Structure formats: C-alpha cells, structure tokens
Amino acid sequence: MLASHSSGFQSPGQGPVMRSPDSIAFEERWDLARDGRPVPLRSSIELRRFANFARWFAVIEPDRATAALPFRLAGSGFFDFFGQDLTGIDYLALVDPAIRQLAFDCVIACLDRPCGLWQCTPATISGGETQLYEYTILPISKNGDGADQIVVYVNFEQASVDLPNVDRLEHAEVWHWLDIGHGVPDIDVSFRPA
C-alpha cells in the first residue's frame, strides 16, 4: 500500500509514472510469504512463489558497520544487464556517489520500521542517455529475529527490449514508502547536490 506522503507521481519529461501490475503482484506474493509475521522469513521467499520475478529478483543484506549493501543473491537478468555476477558486490558501488548515503539510509529505514519502498530510478546508459527502471523493495528476515535483509524486484522489462550497458544508477525521480502495517519513516529523500 502506497504511503500517504511521497514525492508524487510526476516524472520530469516522462509524463505520469504509475506502479506496474508486476510491482503490485510482487508485493502481494511477499505479503503471502509473511504467514502472519511482521516480515517473511528468507526461507519463505522460495522459487515456487516468486518464479515470475526470479530473473529480476535480488536479496541484499545491509552491513551497518561498513554502510554497504552487498548482494547475497541476484537473478540471471542482473548478469545479463551488468555483464557480471553481482553476488558479493555492494549495490552502492553502482550508484551515483552523491546519493550513496541516502540510498543506504532508505534501505536501513525499510528494515528498522519495517516498511517497503517503491521507486522509479533512471540509469545513465551507454551513449549518455537515461532510462527509467522500477524498483520494489521489501524487508525480510534471515532467522526470524527482525528484518535484516531486503528483497528487490527491479522491473527492467518496462524499458527497451535490448538491455543497454548501464554506466550509473541515478537518484530516484519518483518514490513512495510502502506501508506494510507498521507505518512509514519520516525521512526526507529529496536530493540536493553538494
């Protein structure tokens, strides 16, 4: 469920941006996997339930001590997209350095509340152009002791059929906290260049 406050639905130069049916279906599957818990166990996020999302699905386990977001699992689409296996790579190494701390803080907020995050994020692609991708981020728990990982579904399919080389992920143009029953954080995610 989209939170009541957000940055809005308008994306500069793109027209209205709405949450895709795939993003909503991903959240619905995640919700079924909760089985009455605040967040699902990682073991409940199995292929049978998430097969439709597996290609563009990732698990990230934040490291609060080093302020890193390393991939623990990444679907085959990410290999095709980035040309390498992302397992063990820090997601923050792929983003614009100006937004690394904000990206980390938002993921930690998803764990601490817990809540989800939906966003549309442009990537600088080969040739200097940008292309918009949809992210759905939800918390999970490795062993039931609280949210300590996130699952991410990135909807690359709404972009071009031929996946371009990505040079850098930019600041989200559209974002909404997802209230999963525990409220949403009061974090200003506005980007202010230094």
At 8 the pLDDT is 36
At 14 the pLDDT is 44
Does residue 21 have a pLDDT over 70? yes
Give the amino acid at 182: H
Return the percentage of the chain with pLDDT > 70, whole number: 73
Contact 29, 50 (CB under 8 A): yes
Mean pLDDT value of segment 16-43: 92
Distance CA 103, CA 4 (A): 21
Distance CA 175, CA 155 (A): 14
Does residue 65 have a pLDDT over 70? yes
What are residue 117's DSSP bridge partners? Answer: 137, 177
Average pLDDT, the chain: 81
Global model pTM greater than 0.85 = no
Place of tokens 């991410």: 152
At 97 the pLDDT is 84
Distance CA 48, CA 44 (A): 10
Contact 84, 76 (CB under 8 A): no
The CATH number of the structural domain formed by 19-116+136-154 is: 3.30.450
- Nearest C-alpha neighbor of 30 from the set 40, 22, 42, 43: 40
Mean pLDDT value of segment 12-17: 45
Mean pLDDT value of segment 22-39: 95
What tokens appear for 76 in the block? 């085959």
- Nearest C-alpha neighbor of 183 from the set 109, 134, 114: 114
Query: Residue ranges per domain, the chain?
Result: 19-116+136-154
At 173 the pLDDT is 60
At 9 the pLDDT is 33
Of the ranges 58-72, 146-160, 161-175, which is most confident?
58-72
At 82 the pLDDT is 76
At 79 the pLDDT is 84
Mean pLDDT value of segment 25-43: 96
- Nearest C-alpha neighbor of 157 from the set 49, 46, 80, 86: 80
Mean pLDDT value of segment 25-51: 94
